[in-house]
Amino acid sequence: MYIAAIYGLKEDRQEAAQRLAAALGVAGYDAVARLHAPGDILALGAFADKGPAISLLERLRAGGFNGTLLGPEEIAAETSLQPVRRFELREAGICVHTAKETMDIPYPGIRLILRGNRFESTTTTETIKTRSLSLERAILSSGLMLTKTTKETVRKTTEERTGFVNLYSEGGLAVQLREDALSFDCLGPLRKLSRSASFATLVDELRRRAPKALFDDRLLSRAGQKALLGPALNPERQAGAAIALVAKVLLSRA
């Protein structure tokens, strides 16, 4: 999949709507609606082939927008990151251990700290039976049957979220620390009672120890991911694309 996106949007988005409508070949109100999404990175088209994506990118740039193209190899590189199992916050850097390797990342070399959540929704159905008094049935059965049973199918959707923080450092090195995969023993006295609190502490420590790194948390909410990806892409299925797109744009500025 190839994704064409724009970034670095200015505050006056109303003025840009006409140019965007021309580039996308849509009505003006559709362009206005897309530009009203929060954030300064917006995916505007997803394509199976590279040709149409490049064509859209060229039209966007001709319309005065900063544009970028995200390719399948970049998305694959993001989704294939091995989650960190253990870490050590050392004086000069963080040492991370995945299932395959151990890496030392100096704090000054960290360029971007990208925090977010991955979302997964599960829908289940349940049939609920209830019995209630039925006067009609009682009369028809001469009092032998006083109640009736009704069935109702209820659909229940639950959402699970998993926190992550990606570290991007010099030389193109990227690692992912996931809240559900980490051992927080190395936090020592900083470790909290819950995993979520310990994870938040880890993020705070990374920001404190790497103050020059960019920090971004626009992917923490489902709404933020929808705003980034637009109506055509699902945040649950395309989380890797959302992460890769944000990282690519921000690293180009670092």
Give residue 151's pLDDT. Answer: 75
- Residues 48, 115: one domain? no
Q: Reply yes or no on whether the pLDDT at 158 is more than 60.
A: yes
Q: Reply yes or no on whether the pLDDT at 139 is more than 90.
A: no
Which tens digits make up the pLDDT trace of 30-67? 888 888 888 899 999 999 999 999 999 999 999 999 99
- Residues 13, 40: one domain? yes
Q: Reply yes or no on whether the pLDDT at 79 is more than 80.
A: yes
When comparing pLDDT for 176 and 11, which is higher?
Answer: 176
- Residues 62, 106: one domain? no
* Residue entry with tokens 């971007």: 112
- Residues 87, 177: one domain? yes
Which tens digits make up the pLDDT trace of 85-132? 999 999 999 999 998 899 999 999 999 999 999 988 677 777 777 776
Give residue 154's pLDDT. Answer: 76
Which tens digits make up the pLDDT trace of 206-249? 999 999 999 999 999 999 999 999 988 998 899 999 999 999 99
Give residue 13's pLDDT. Answer: 75
Task: Look at residue 211 and give its three-state secondary structure.
Answer: coil
Q: Reply yes or no on whether the pLDDT at 147 is more than 70.
A: no
When comparing pLDDT for 135 and 81, which is higher?
Answer: 81
- Residues 52, 177: one domain? no
**Strands 214-219 and 110-133, how do they pair?**
parallel
**CA triplet 9, 10, 13: central angle to 5 degrees?**
90
- Residues 57, 174: one domain? no
Number of CB atoms found within 10 A of residue 206's CB: 22
Q: pLDDT-derived band of residue 161, with 50, 70 and 90 as boundaries? A: confident
Residue 136, domain extent: 122-156
When comparing pLDDT for 55 and 153, which is higher?
Answer: 55
- Residues 181, 237: one domain? yes
Q: Reply yes or no on whether the pLDDT at 16 is more than 90.
A: no
Rounded CA separation 115/117 (Å): 7
- Residues 187, 129: one domain? no
CA proximity to 122, closest of 161, 178, 151: 161
Q: Reply yes or no on whether the pLDDT at 135 is more than 80.
A: no
- Residues 40, 115: one domain? no
Question: Looking at this protein, which amino acid is placed at residue 109?
Answer: G
> Is the separation of the CB atoms in 34 and 18 below 8 Å?
no
Domains in the chain, number: 3
Rounded CA separation 22/126 (Å): 49
Give residue 109's pLDDT. Answer: 96
Could you give the angle at which helices 50-62 and 13-24 cross, rounded to 10 degrees? 140
CATH number at residue 27: 3.30.1390
- Residues 104, 130: one domain? no
Rounded CA separation 65/34 (Å): 14
- Residues 138, 188: one domain? no
Q: pLDDT-derived band of residue 4, with 50, 70 and 90 as boundaries? A: very high
Q: Reply yes or no on whether the pLDDT at 144 is more than 60.
A: no
